[in-house]
């Protein structure tokens, strides 16, 4: 089946430092699945951070960006300068054309940003 | 913005107890999902539905039943709760490529 592997947390960074969370994927029935990053802030549900549905494209939101690399089957999330408010759990996910079963998620990466 | 509301937000029950988790979405999305989130496992799909009266089995359905009574309402039932079902449960609805999540229900089975 489909699978998503991402950086194992927890990850601790200082405010204004850069952050990268690695994500690689394997999709069984489609060459180019849709790719997503979701974020869960404390006490909240998961919310969409960004998505890319075309291989080779880059998505960006709230200072985060991720590029869909079909050669390396990767979708790493990066931010140049994090803030304390970026402390959250980040999930990489993929979805195939038939979304009936929803998305396949990675394990999540807990990020803590310290002032 | 699509809204998915779960209740209760927290629940404690005893082993063998009967628990119902509720989920309501307000945007008439066809697909709804129940996931559980556990450390080391990420989100795992329990059951899902593509409309009122429909139910599909997910990846970890054992010990769970679900019912979709209306387009808006999707319930997860634990008829004989066990400690292994202690988890954080998320409901979600889907419109095209975007999935909207509730805030989660933390269930503890003692």
Q: Are A25 and A94 in contact (CB under 8 A)?
A: yes
* Model confidence pLDDT, tens digit, residues B13-56: 999 999 999 999 998 899 999 999 998 888 999 999 999 999 99
User: Sorting pLDDT into bands at 50, 70 and 90, what band is A76?
Assistant: very high
Chain A residues in contact with B58 (beta carbon < 8 A): 101
Chain B residues in contact with A34 (beta carbon < 8 A): 97
Contact B97 A43 (CB under 8 A): no
Q: How far is A24 from chain B (nearest CA, A)?
A: 15
- Of A4, A45, A100, Cβ closest to residue B103: A45
Suggest the residue from B25, B91, B97 to mutate for an interface test with chain A (most A CBs closer than 10 A): B97
The pLDDT of residue A98 is above 80: no
Q: Is B66 on the interface with A (CB under 8 A)?
A: no
Pairing of strands A109-114, A88-95: antiparallel
Distance in angstroms (rounded) separating the CA atoms of residues B88 and B104: 6
Task: Tally Cβ neighbours within 10 Å of residue A62.
Answer: 12
Give the mean pLDDT of A100-108.
Answer: 88
Suggest the residue from A46, A53, A106 to mutate for an interface test with chain B (most B CBs closer than 10 A): A46
Give the mean pLDDT of A44-69.
Answer: 94
């Amino acid at each position: 089946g489909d699978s998503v592997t991402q950086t194992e947390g927890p990850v601790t960074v200082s405010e204004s430092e850069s952050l990268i969370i690695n994500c690689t994927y394997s999709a069984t029935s489609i060459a180019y699945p849709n790719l997503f990053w979701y974020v869960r802030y404390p006490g909240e549900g998961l919310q969409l951070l960004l998505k890319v549905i075309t291989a080779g494209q880059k998505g960006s939101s709230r200072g985060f960006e991720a590029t869909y690399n079909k050669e390396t089957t990767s979708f790493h999330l990066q931010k140049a300068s994090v803030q304390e408010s970026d402390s959250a759990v980040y999930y990489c996910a993929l979805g195939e054309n038939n979304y009936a079963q929803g998305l396949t998620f990675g394990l999540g990466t807990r990020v803590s940003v310290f002032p | 913005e699509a809204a998915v509301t779960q209740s209760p937000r927290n629940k404690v029950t005893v082993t063998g107890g009967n628990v119902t988790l509720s989920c309501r979405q307000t945007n008439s999305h066809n697909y709804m999902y129940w996931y559980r989130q556990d450390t080391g496992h990420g989100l795992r799909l329990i059951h899902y539905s593509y409309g009122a009266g429909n139910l599909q089995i997910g990846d970890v359905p054992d010990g769970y039943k679900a019912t979709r009574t209306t387009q808006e309402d999707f319930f997860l039932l634990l008829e004989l709760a066990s400690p292994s079902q202690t988890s954080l449960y998320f409901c979600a609805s889907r419109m095209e490529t975007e999935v909207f999540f509730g805030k989660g229900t933390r269930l503890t089975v003692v």
